[in-house]
Each structure stands twice: as C-alpha cells, then as structure tokens.
Amino acid sequence: MKVKHLSSNVLQEARKRIKRMIVSSDEVWVGFSGGKDSLVVLSLVEEQIKNEKINVVFRDEEMIPTAVYEFVMKKKQDPRYNFVYIATQMESDITILGQSKRYIQWDKNRKWVREKPNGYIEFKGVQKQEEFEKWFFKNTKHSIGLALGLRADESLLRRQGFMKSKHPFYRPSLLKNVTIYNPIYDWSEKDIFKYLYDNNIEYCKSYDLQVFSSVPLRVATVLHSESSRHLAKLKEMDTVLYNQLMEIFPEVEIQARYHKEAKQTSNKKAVIFKYKELANGNPLKAIYLYIEKELEGLKKQQAQKTVLKAKLSRENRIKKVKKSTFGGYPYYYVFEQILKGSFKRISIMPTTNDKEVYYEFENIKNNT
C-alpha cells in the first residue's frame, strides 16, 4: 500500500473534515456519548458554528456510570446546544460470567436501573441501535451530517474497517440523506487529551476514576462484554450505579466476586469442548451448534456470517501458504471470539499464535 505523507497534523485535518461536513449538509448533528472522543468532536464543531445552536443527540443506555450521567445532564442544560436526550427501548446485550444474553434498555416490563430525566424523548416500540439514523432521522428530508467520535486505534477491527474504506472519514448510512462523519478517526488517545488540555475543556470525571483504578478509559454501558469484566472496580468507583444494578441484576455480585476465576481459560475451554462433543467431534459444527443454541435474532445472523467469513479466509490462506496449518483462523480461536461477542464488529482478525489447544481441538498432531 502506498503511503502518502501529509504536512498537516491530525487537528488540522479534523478541522478540514468538519468544514467539509458543514458545507455538504443542510443540518449538522453531533452524536454525543459523554465520552472524551465525542466531546472533542463537539468542541471542533463549536469552533466552526459560532452564531447558532448546535444539534446534539445523546442516547441514554440506562446502565451508564453516574459521572457520565451527571456530565451529560450538564451539557443538556447548556444554551449553546439543541440537545436531544433519547431514553427509549433499544435492543442490546449484557455479559455476565462469560454468558451473553439479550437485553432491552428501558424495558417497560421491568424496573429501571434509574428514572429517566426530564425532557427525554422516546420512540414507539423496541429500536435497533445499529439502525439509529434510520429511526431518528426518518422524518427528515434535509441533507444530514452526523459527526461521531470513532477512532481507528480503539481496536484492530475498527482500524481494519477504516483502512479498507476509500473515504475513511465519512460513509453513507441506512438513509440516503444521512452521511456519517468520523472527523477524528486518525487521532490517538494522547491526541484527544492534548486537545482537551490545550483548550481547557472540562471532561467527564469517570476517566480520572478509571486511571486511578487501572481500567480502560471507556464510558460504555457497564454490562457490555468489554466493561463487565471490571465490575469489581465499578463497585469501588461508582457505588450508586453498582447498587442500582444489584436491584435489577443481582448476579452482578457474583460477576464482581468471581470474574477472575470465571475468565480463566479452563472455563472457556470447557464450553468449547462441550460443544465439540455435542457436534460429534466436528470443530466447525461445534461453533455453529453453539450459535444455534445460545444466540438469537440479529446476533445469531451476525455470528453465522462472521464464522463463514473466517472459514473462507482460513481456506484461502491455507492454499496460499501451505505451511499455515490454520490459515490464521484456528477453529478454537474463532470459537473464543464468538464467545467474546466479536461478531458484533466487522470481522475476526487472524491470529499468529500457535497454541497446543488449537491442535487438540481439531484433532491435528502438532509436529513443531
């Protein structure tokens, strides 16, 4: 791949992208999460739009940290913004002790983790998060530019998605009149905090708590697969939210106490080999059997497509590199990624690891 070196820096490029978004759109919206990345995007948009209110939309996922909720509410009251606060039923999932299950945010059939604030809006029925622009902008005929705070270095899979795109800083959405913009896609976390420091911008205090507790800097729903492993730390950082969660999901206490044991390879291995046995020893069928039994709806479809893509990539790689036993996709490794919920992203990245358990799972003799 030919690399083009630019004389400008990421801040200058982000400003150019935002100017382009504004010129190309009848309406500009900023998707705000309360986190550092979307905060930077909001501030960059403010640099360009000075004499009118900025459209901001926030989706309350119900199980958000107390500091995030308080920070968002402060922004909601800011007169510079036309702030739309959404608290509506949305499909999601929670992960407790390695098991992922379907979950409806703000489900009307159960008690909520906390009450909704004044001034929220909701939509009829249960919405799909990945179709947000479709249901939020459905009655809008104008050209919409929606700016998000997504960055490539947040994960290898996200980086892969940006690198594959001809235009990584924008993409079409599910609606013809809505374009999604990622003006800071090439920023690092250091770039984010440097911008906030240089411009004296107040950020959500959750990050300070996370730094002192040595957990990843995230403001995501606390029972998502990436966040739920830190429930023991949440108990220390956010007692209010932890107690609220305990009322609705008492099993979080088990997660907080025993997650260290639950995440050990032996437990994961037991699940994987259990399904291999149920699949009469066929490693690939074992993965599909797990998906069939444990997942449902869109998650099942996404997982099936992800496994198929990994299988085809594996076959192609083995043909090209004959010494590659698994083509970067040992079925044990693929199974692990499905258990982690990695199918919700673009694709599974290949691995260069060569573990004995990979050979064991596929009944292959390791001659190395």
Residue 279, domain member (yes or no): yes
Quick one: what percent of the chain has pLDDT higher than 90?
47
- Do 37 and 179 fall into the same domain? yes
Q: Tell which of 175, 198, 221 closes a domain.
A: 198
* CB distance 101 to 93 below 8 Å: yes
Calculate helix-pair angle for 283-294, 297-320, nearest 10 degrees.
170
Q: Tell which of 198, 218, 234 closes a domain.
A: 198
**Which H helix or E strand runs over 246?**
helix 239-248
Residue 144, domain member (yes or no): yes
- Do 32 and 177 fall into the same domain? yes
* CB distance 144 to 26 below 8 Å: yes
Read off the CATH number of the domain in which 65 is found. 3.40.50.620
Q: What is the mean pLDDT of residues 42-70?
A: 93
- Do 181 and 286 fall into the same domain? no
State the DSSP code for 120: E
- Do 277 and 174 fall into the same domain? no
CA–CA separation, 56 and 180 (whole Å): 14
Residue 216, domain member (yes or no): no
Nearest to 30 by CA among 69, 74, 78, 81: 81
Name the residue range of residue 292's domain: 265-361
Q: What is the mean pLDDT of residues 211-236?
A: 64
Our count of domains for the chain comes to: 2
Ranges 118-122, 207-211, 262-266, 363-367: which has the least confidence = 262-266
- Do 192 and 283 fall into the same domain? no
Residue 180, domain member (yes or no): yes
- Do 189 and 309 fall into the same domain? no
- Do 193 and 293 fall into the same domain? no
Cβ-Cβ contacts under 8 Å for 321 (sequence gap 6 or more): 327
- Do 158 and 291 fall into the same domain? no
Residue 227, domain member (yes or no): no
Instruction: Look at 162 and 340; give whichever has higher pLDDT.
Output: 340
For residue range 84-101, list pLDDT tens digits in order: 999 999 988 777 666 667
Q: Tell which of 148, 178, 198 closes a domain.
A: 198
Give the N- to C-terminal CA distance of the chain in Å, as an integer: 33
Mean pLDDT of the chain: 84
Residue 235, domain member (yes or no): no
pLDDT band at 264 (very low <50, low <70, confident <90, very high): very low
Ranges 11-15, 243-247, 277-281: which has the least confidence = 243-247
Nearest to 39 by CA among 227, 225, 206, 173: 206
Nearest to 358 by CA among 269, 263, 266: 269
